[in-house]
Amino acid sequence: MSSDTTPKGTYSEESISVLEGLEPVRRRPGMYIGSTGTDGLHHLVYEVVDNCVDEALAGFATKVEVVLHDDGSVQVSDNGRGIPVGPHPQYPDKSTVEVVLTKLHAGGKFGGGGYHVSGGLHGVGISVVNALSEHLEIEVQRDGYEWMQAFGKGGIPEGPLRKGRKTKATGTTVHFRPDAEIFEEVDFDRATLAKRFQETAYLVPNLTIVFRDERSKGGDTSGDQSEEGWERQYQARHGIVDFVEALNSSRTPLHRHILHFSGERNEGDQTMRVEVAAQWNDTYTDSVHSFVNVVNTRHGGTHEEGFRMALTGTLNKTARELGILRESEENFSGDDVREGLTAVVSVKLTHPQFEGQTKAKLGNTEVKGFVRSVVNDELTLWLKQHKADSKAILKRCKDAGNARRAARKARDLARRKGILDGADAGLPGKLVDCQSSDRSGTELFLVEGDSAGGSAVSARDRETQAILPLRGKLLNVERTSLGRALENAEVAAIAAALGCGIGHEVDLEQLRYGKVILLSDADVDGSHIRTLLLTFLFRFMTPVVSEGHVYVAQPPLYQVRFGQERVYAGSEPELHQLLDSRNGNPVVSRFKGLGEMNADQLWETTMNPLTRRLVRITVEEAALADEVVSKLMGSVVEPRKEWISQNAGDARFLDI
Ligand code: 0RA
């Protein structure tokens, strides 16, 4: 019996069995897509797109188009072979399309050879997307015709696959609306999707991904949503080489050519392929991105381990051969060779095994040796063929090693002087400490300028609030190593006052205050200083930021006097709102800086926990500050110009 004889809306035997097929997915969505929150929602799109990407990896599709519609639906099309439309071998009364969409784990490719790697972290198949949708339509172009089928809530077919017009084209279009009863939220975030598609395009050369947002509000926060909607195209002619170039675009590369090599091996039924692109730049950040089957392995795993071992080993070996490391000298450490390294390691496996809660770590043990041996051989060769680049890279490793030893000395010295261990004797002279030693209730204000520092000292609650005045601008740590940074008096004073150590050695247990509050003027200079401080804390005291100890104080910009009463406004819009909402004769004055406030005003507006406003800094914001600093203060001029012209007048960045 075919279901086209079944009236719509009634349950045929068939649709009941189909319902049973997908029911586990609706009962426990988390098991299939991780969560029913925003991540899970976006996962639905990835799942469909990954199927198209598989078709591209197999050499059949060259274009994927993703469109966000106003009704909350998403449409994903590709120009691949199209899902087979004929009867399915195991369910001869159903089309393969229907089986792929209604049976769990029927998503894998069968028949046909081709290079199949399962995309998607979960790789659960599009039947899961169907199960978690309110409505889904599929259109296939194949075997000379268009074919379509629609599914209702939970993936129940509304009829069989139907044959439509003639066409010579091939491809698959999946149009679905996530079920609002399943997901906590059904708003797609454009930036999240865009980042993923950009990344995918780098990892799958010859694939073009077109991404269009046709929603009227567009979830747009950047203001670039025009009447016609928003569209971007992602494609990378040189694949991960382009990726590395983009990652390094706001930094200065230390050598001209981007390293690039690959290798392949079969072990039993496991086919392994690795491709690496890398280039060192003049920052101190290690930025290694790894992927398995086009999926980001944020927590690394065996492929990254193999890469790191080979990198350290090969660079040491070559440095010895070239006499850059002499017999008496220590080997480069792993950190030395990765300082300033931007790399992409992309692995494709027929049978990946992921580990950990988030499945973002590769577990296959055979991959480690494979990647290690490819990188050993190919990197050795590359270094031989690129003499000038090699010299620059190896010299950099050597400098990093020297700096590491110098930093260790500086730290040892600092520790001996008590600077880093928070011993009272080692506290900086400028610190005006609080009396309480119960850390959870205490706050350290990092205050811009001595005069504002003075006001803050008189204004503070001496029981719980400590003040560290900072003079002038903090050193820009973007292009500074830890050792050099510690030579800067302001940096050393902050490190000493916090007492929790620095760099890899941060110990939050030792942090001397519950809150670290940045207090600077509400003007451009103030925000510059804030950005530098955030960058410093983010780079060298990451856990202090990530554990939520860092805040930004919000001093007001305006004071309005209504007779005896004083009211404050933090911004111009707030000022207008205030003036509009009140009667009386207002006297408005603008604070030029913190120094203009007297102690009472400072206490009332900025320091009193009952009346002040504080903004807690998240890692994302600190990372953004970091990126802003890279662009504004790194050594490359172009991105800086570009950034300034794009964001001039956009207060979001300067006003973190
Ligand atoms: C099953 C088998 C084949 C291709 C596909 C599924 C397929 C699925 C999706 C999902 C989105 N786009 C897709 N493109 C293809 C192999 C077909 C053959 O051997 O000809």
For residue 332, give the CATH number of its domain: 3.30.230.10
**How far apart are the CA of 55 and the centre of ligand 1, in A?**
7
**Residue from 78, 81, 129 whose mutation best tests the ligand 1 pocket (most atoms within 8 A of CB):** 81
* pLDDT of the residue at 70: 95
Q: Which of 52, 63, 66, 83 to mutate to test ligand 1, by most ligand atoms within 8 A of the CB atom?
A: 83
Residue range(s) defining the domain that contains residue 288: 241-409
Examine the residue annotation and report whether 448 is marked as an active-site residue of this protein. yes
Asked if 521 is an active-site residue, the reply is yes
pTM: predicted TM-score of the whole model, two decimal places: 0.69
Tokens of 44: 């639905």
Amino acid 655: pLDDT: 28
Which ligand 1 atom sits closest to the C-alpha of 80? 14
479 and 401 in a common domain? no
How many angstroms separate the alpha carbon of residue 67 from the centre of ligand 1?
Answer: 20
Give the domain-ending residue among 409, 432, 449: 409
Q: Indicate if 250 and 232 belong to the same structural domain.
A: no
58 and 198 share a domain? yes
Catalytic: which of 143, 231, 507, 525?
A: 525
Q: Compute the distance between CA of residue 521 and CA of residue 507 in angstroms, rounded to an integer.
A: 31
Say yes or no: 256 and 401 in one domain: yes
Residue among 487, 507, 523, 642 flagged as catalytic:
523
Which atom of ligand 1 has the smallest separation from the CA of 114? 19
Please report the pLDDT score of residue 10 as a whole number.
39
Residues 375 and 483 in one domain: no
Q: How far is the CA of 111 from the centre of ligand 1 (A)?
A: 10
My answer on whether 28 and 57 are in the same domain is: yes
Q: How many domains does the chain have?
A: 3
Which element (helix H / strand E) includes 532? Answer: helix 524-540
Q: Whose Cα sits closest to atom 20 in ligand 1?
A: 81
Residue 116 Cα to ligand 1 middle (Å): 11
- Protein residue with its CA nearest to atom 12 in ligand 1: 52
End-of-domain residue from the set 213, 237, 261: 237
Q: Which residue's CA lies nearest to atom 14 of ligand 1?
A: 82
Write out residues in the chain with pLDDT < 50, as ranges.
1-20, 106-122, 218-219, 221, 421-425, 635, 637, 640-641, 643-656
Q: Are residues 104 and 168 in the same domain?
A: yes
Nearest CA to ligand 1 atom 8: 83
- Does residue 405 sit in the same domain as residue 261? yes
* Whether residues 163 and 118 fall in one domain: yes
CA–CA dist 85, 78 (Å, integer):
16
**Residue 324 identity (one-letter amino acid):** I
Say if 302 falls within a structural domain: yes
Concerning whether 523 is annotated as a catalytic residue, the answer is yes
φ and ψ of 137, to 5 deg: -120, 140
Together in a domain, 357 and 487: no
Cα–Cα distance between 291 and 310 in angstroms, integer?
17
Nearest CA owner, ligand 1 atom 4: 83
Task: Give dist(CA 377, CA 80) in Å, integer.
Answer: 36
Ligand 1, CB within 6 Å, residue ranges: 51-52, 55, 78, 80-81, 83-84, 100, 109, 111-112, 126, 172
DSSP codes of every residue in 389-457: HHHHHHHHHHHHHHHHHHHHHHHHHHHHTTTTTT-GGGS-TT-B--S---GGG-EEEEEESHHHHHHHH
Atom of ligand 1 nearest to the CA of 61: 14
Whether residue 392 is found in the same domain as residue 289: yes
* DSSP E strand stretches across 341-404: 341-349, 354-355, 361-362
Spatial contact of 428 and 438, defined as CB atoms under 8 Å apart:
no
Same structural domain, 135 and 219: yes
CA-proximal residue: ligand 1, atom 1 (nearest): 109
Of the candidates 14, 47, 521, 626, the residue annotated as catalytic is 521
* 193 CA → ligand 1 middle, Å: 23
Q: Please provide residue 291's backbone torsions phi and psi, each rounded to the nearest 5 degrees.
A: -140, 145
Assess if residue 299 is contained within a domain. Answer: yes
Return the residue whose CA atom lies nearest to atom 2 of ligand 1. Answer: 109
537 Cα: distance to centroid of ligand 1 (angstroms): 49
Cα 635 to Cα 335: distance, rounded to the nearest angstrom: 22
Give the CATH number of the domain where residue 442 resides: 3.40.50.670
Closest CA to 68 of 100, 42, 97: 42
The string over 523-546, giving b where at least 16 C-beta atoms fall within 10 Å of a residue's C-beta and e elsewhere, is: eeebbbbbbbbbbbbbbbbbebbe
> Is 30 part of any domain?
yes
- Chain segment 302-337, per-residue pLDDT in tens: 999 999 999 999 999 999 999 999 999 999 999 999
288 is a domain residue: yes
pLDDT of residue 591: 84
Q: Angle at CA 444, nearest 5°, toward 443 and 450?
A: 140
Instruction: Provide the pLDDT for residue 524.
Output: 75
The DSSP bridge pattern shows strands 287-292 and 341-349 to be: parallel
How far is residue 9's CA from residue 245's CA, in Å, rounded to a whole number?
Answer: 54
Question: Cα(108) to centroid of ligand 1, in Å?
Answer: 8
